[in-house]
Amino acid sequence: MSENYTEDNIRSLEWREHIRMRPGMYIGKLGDGASQDDGIYVLIKEIIDNSIDEYVMGNGKVIDVTIQEQQVTIRDYGRGIPLGKVKDCVSKINTGAKYDSKVFKKAVGLNGVGSKAVNALSSKFITQSVRDGKTKIVEYSNGVLVSETDEIPTEEKNGTIVTFVPDKELFGNYHYITEYVDKLLWNYVFLNNGLTIKFNGERFYAKDGLKELLERNINGNGPTLYPIVHIQEDDLEFAFTHSNKQYGEEYYSFVNGQHTTQGGTHQAAFREAIVKTIREFYNKDFDTSDVRQSILAAISIKIQEPVFESQTKTKLGSQYIEPGGMTIRNYVNDIIKRNLDNYLHKNPETADALYQKILQSQKERKELDGIKKLARESVKKASLHNRKLRDCKIHYNTNHERRLESSIFITEGDSASGSITKSRDVNTQAVFSLKGKPLNCFGLSKKIVYQNEEFNLLQAALNVDDGMENLRYNNIVIATDADVDGMHIRLLLMTFFLQFYPDLVKGGHLYILQTPLFRIRDKKKTVYTYSEEERAEAMKQFGVKPEITRFKGLGEISPDEFKHFIGGSIRLDPVLLHRESSIKEIMSFYMGKNTPERQTFIIDNLRVEDDILEEAKVA
């Protein structure tokens, strides 16, 4: 019998209740900080976006950012929030100045939601506005007003100071990864020439815009074929070059300073315009993939009243530069055609290098065409989606609210894949089972991806044959045993991704699953620890001789236990590439032929593990 449906079933949520109940609508996903699109970074971005809008309008050239453990403080030197509206701007939904296009013509934040989301999702949230010799401070906890001061005199400089601590009840035992914050802040200064951001004492500043962005991100891709082409006109800026070693395409796209990691109409227009202009310049009907193969590009556009596909603003949906104006497609095409055509005429060496690159890509593509056809037939015969891949229902390349949670676990052996398969969330978690150790593909050409059955099937499962645009999972998780063989498989898989899909790694999609080494339990409780240090600390919670289990492999962990390790308490270590790192040098050192340097490294880092169980008995 169905439940009674009456007036009592109808309720209206307060703004903070709705945000806390449906955080995904406002910040994408929660997460513990392991992923660069986790909510704790979106909270930082939402506050900084307001400061950037002030800078764009000519107010305040410096933004101070401080992170101490879990507390974030952001201070700008703009005009400051009008003191009589400080409380409204951080606690009344859809309240702000962004609706007045005369004040904020091309703002990042538009809906008056960002600061309210940060407020509602923070256990401590303090906003102070300084304006013309007076200041006002309001403090909240989880969106509930704690205190409010009157307007009082001050000698501080104008601006807004926001301090917040994300709520552990929602985000768990989270932590900020400095590399992710660095990347976020660098993007802000690349897009706002003359802006200085100070982060925990480090200065972020750029003067050459997207050219500097590419220079900073090119390291590790190998030599470029020609100097970066960098062009600015009106509200469009773009820069690009071609790598000599990288496969695929790599884009950094922005709208009004917002990093649109999923691209959108502006990025699609850029990709189309590049191909069209180059075809016309050389008077050759080049294949689209031959022109864009190995491209490294950045594009930034400013438009009025942008429409994004979600509150997190990762993909632009707008069709027009301004309401009722020129289409983004025509606008981008006109500027690129005129400027790039002129550039190539004035720089014949670059034009020749680009031409030779296209011919080389054409040659490689034709050599691969036959192999690809056989590889696709092989995928069909292998019944990929029945034998190798246990798929999930929600994917990264969908518009579903939970798409950022989509993951694929790459496992070794039937026992490990079986445990994860039985434990997973079938909506967002897929499992791919490896057969034996992957091939060491360092130094090999991409045709090995199609000729090697495991690589071919893995590529098909990820759906990255034609580029990252169709990537099916946001998180690609290597789940191997924490032993020598498992570590070796990790290295081989990371080599595969770095060799053929480095933009997938750079995009923050690759992770290592951390699984517990020890289970400690008595009749009252069970504790899982992930290292010897954690185990020693956890032992203090128990009495004499608790039962200690040392997990030797993933297959030893029961499905019921695995639910904990790949659910809300999942621990993921992101595979990060530091700016100073060279992909070629890293892979050569670890995966190339044996060298004296690597032998010395192994000897210097060799250690013999203690007899854990014997030590536990003594304890």
Same CATH topology for 15-205 and 382-515+551-581: the answer is no
pLDDT of residue 450: 86
Q: Mean pLDDT check: name the lowest of 278-287, 415-424, 597-606.
A: 597-606
pLDDT of residue 164: 97
The strands making up 526-529's β-sheet, listed across from edge to edge, are: 526-529, 518-521, 547-550
Average the pLDDT over 503-529 and give the result.
89
Indicate the fold that domain 209-361 takes in CATH.
Ribosomal Protein S5; domain 2 (3.30.230)
Collapsing DSSP to helix, strand or coil, 47 comes out as helix
Instruction: Report whether pLDDT(61) > 60.
Output: yes
pLDDT of residue 611: 43
Indicate the fold that domain 382-515+551-581 takes in CATH.
Rossmann fold (3.40.50)
Average the pLDDT over 559-584 and give the result.
80
Sign of CA pseudo-dihedral 502, 504, 509, 511: negative
Cβ neighbors of 351 (< 8 A, separation 6 or more) are 281, 344, 345
pLDDT of residue 530: 87
Side chain identity at residue 185, one-letter code: L
Angle at 178 between CA 176 and CA 180, to 5 degrees: 85
Residues above pLDDT 70, as percent of the chain: 87
Average the pLDDT over 218-224 and give the result.
68
Average the pLDDT over 489-513 and give the result.
89
Instruction: Report whether pLDDT(276) > 90.
Output: yes
Cβ neighbors of 483 (< 8 A, separation 6 or more) are 552, 553
Average the pLDDT over 567-589 and give the result.
76
Whole-number Å distance between alpha carbons of 140 and 361: 57
Instruction: Report whether pLDDT(599) > 80.
Output: no
pTM listed for this prediction: 0.83
In the chain, what are the domain boundaries? 15-205, 209-361, 382-515+551-581
Span 15-205 CATH architecture? 2-Layer Sandwich (3.30)
Whole-number Å distance between alpha carbons of 526 and 106: 54
Average the pLDDT over 148-154 and give the result.
94
- Which DSSP category does 69 fall into? T
* Contact present, 547 and 526 (Cβ < 8 Å): no
pLDDT of residue 579: 63
